[in-house]
Amino acid sequence: MLYKSGFTIKQILSRHINHADRVAERVQAQAIVDFKDLDNSVDLICICVTDANIMQVANQLQGYNGLVVHTSGTVALSALQTVNRFGVFYPLQTFTKTVAVDFKSTPILVEANTPEDEALLENLARRVSTNVEVLSSAKREKLHVAAVIANNFTNHLLAKAYNYCHENNLPFHVLNALITETARKAISENPNQNQTGPAARKDLQTIQRHLEIITDLELKKLYQTLSESIIKSHETKL
């Protein structure tokens, strides 16, 4: 992301030299595996590890003069308080190794422990993306909840639909247009106004018939729970 936006990457540190080498080669950087080999003259260090390991890495950076940021949606800014200058540089996007991401449209949420570094991170983020927000740790954590619901839960339901089609010898690709239109409406309009289906109509007969057709107990429970939630949400409109 930063490399493709014109920034120079000096070093890639990883516990495993093979991983560090692979990444370093792509961004023309030096691969290292020991904190003592970090170049203390670099302007920015990005901690890109699991949430549980962020504080552990930050503790290894005491005495570093530059700005240290983590890239987590849920970990508070205070997790980095063992260093002098610290912040958050969080790209709100889903990442997989095999899919390229358009960072220009990816929201980047920033925060820092001083107004000066917050402005610096905001300016840096605007070189990467056209969608930048300064957001506190508390708001970023709450937004991450919404992101999990919108992305991870939705993908899980799509996976359930895929498996259901496969098990019943049905063509999943027939749902592509429906999935695309649902996503388009969710982006351009208020999703509360776009709910359709038997639960929104309180069509209990169809819901019951669907529950009889579904043999997977976990999917049956999901269908029932979500139908009840939709009915409750739309009770005032019926």
Residue 238 has pLDDT above 50, yes or no: no
pLDDT in tens, 116-150: 999 999 999 999 999 999 999 999 999 999 999 99
pLDDT band at 5 (very low <50, low <70, confident <90, very high): confident
Contact criterion met (CB below 8 Å) for 107 and 129: yes
Helix axes 154-167, 217-233, angle to 10 degrees: 130
Neighbours of 122 (CB within 10 A): 18
Is residue 51 scored above 50 in pLDDT? yes
Tell me, what's the pLDDT at 236? Answer: 63
pTM (predicted TM-score): 0.87
Domain boundaries, the chain: 40-135, 141-237
Mean pLDDT of the chain: 93
pLDDT value, residue 126? 95
- CATH code of the region 40-135: 3.40.50.720
Phi and psi of 136, rounded to 5°?
Answer: -70, 165
Q: Are 22 and 16 in contact (CB under 8 A)?
A: no
Predicted local distance difference test score (pLDDT) of residue 237: 55
The percentage of the chain sitting over the pLDDT mark of 90, rounded to a whole number, equals 86
Distances 217 to 152, 214, 226 between C-alpha atoms, Å: 21, 8, 14
Asked which of 48-62, 90-104, 131-145 is least confident by mean pLDDT, the reply is: 90-104
Residue type, 12: I
Q: How far apart are the first and last CA of the chain?
A: 48
Provide mean pLDDT across the span 150-177.
97
CA-to-CA distance for 78 and 140, rounded, in angstroms?
A: 13
Closest to 33 in 3D by CA, of 51, 55, 12: 12
Instruction: Tell me which H or E stretch contains 122.
Output: helix 115-126
Q: Is 82:59 a contact under the CB 8 Å cutoff?
A: yes
CATH 3.40.50.11270, applies to 141-237 = no
Contact assessment for residue 30 and residue 24, using Cβ atoms and an 8 Å cutoff:
yes
Characterize the bridge pairing of strands 108-112 and 30-32: unpaired
